[in-house]
Amino acid sequence: MSPTGAPQCTSSSSIVNTSQLRALFSKPYGAPAPSEQQWREAYSEDVVFEDPTQKQKGLKAYLAAQEGLLRRCDDVLLKPLAIACDGQTAFVEWEMGLKIKGIEFVYPGTTRLLLNDAGKIVDHRDYFDFVGPTFEPVPVIGGFVRWLYKRFVN
């Protein structure tokens, strides 16, 4: 436990606790995203970020990816659910909402974070279904996506 009582992820020289992770993974609709300073305090300069749509290397590329998402959307929600830490590994279960041209797309997902010896995030991997939530709300395409899921998943 950290001094605040929050479960913590540990490394040899620093601690990231669940409260800090909850703050980084929280953005209600209409609220600002975490600041660049908050990201820099938690992420290593050589972080690797990967999700179903991209792979970025370096903090500058990671920050640009976050800014790009915010620019493409009318609004963004990120709501943390469960957070677990074990040594230098953390998992954050979350729900992300993207409002684009009057349509809300909701993505449930999970992030796996690896910490370096300095306690900074050096690897950030997001796991979520991009196809279903993106295309199911779209007329015509949505029906095709639902058919594909029934055909190959059920």
Across the range 3-16, mean pLDDT stands at 56
pLDDT the model gives residue 114? 96
Across the range 25-36, mean pLDDT stands at 94
Percentage of the chain lying above the pLDDT 70 cut:
90
Domains of the chain as residue ranges with CATH? 8-129 (3.10.450.50)
- 67's CB contacts (< 8 A; 6+ apart) are none
Residue 1 or residue 60, greater confidence: 60
Q: Which secondary structure element, helix H or strand E, spans residue 45, and what is its range?
A: strand 43-51
Please check whether residue 125 is in contact with residue 51, taking contact to mean a CB–CB distance below 8 angstroms. yes
Quote the DSSP letter at residue 32.
P
Please check whether residue 106 is in contact with residue 96, taking contact to mean a CB–CB distance below 8 angstroms. yes
Reported as a single tens digit per residue, the pLDDT across 98-137 is 999 988 999 999 999 999 998 999 999 999 998 888 888 7
Reported as a single tens digit per residue, the pLDDT across 82-103 is 999 998 999 999 999 999 998 8
- The pLDDT confidence band at residue 2, using thresholds 50, 70 and 90, is very low
Taking 70 as the threshold, does the pLDDT of residue 144 lie above it?
yes
User: Starting from the edge strand earliest in sequence, which strands make up the sheet with 89-100, in order?
Assistant: 54-57, 43-51, 121-128, 103-115, 89-100, 75-86
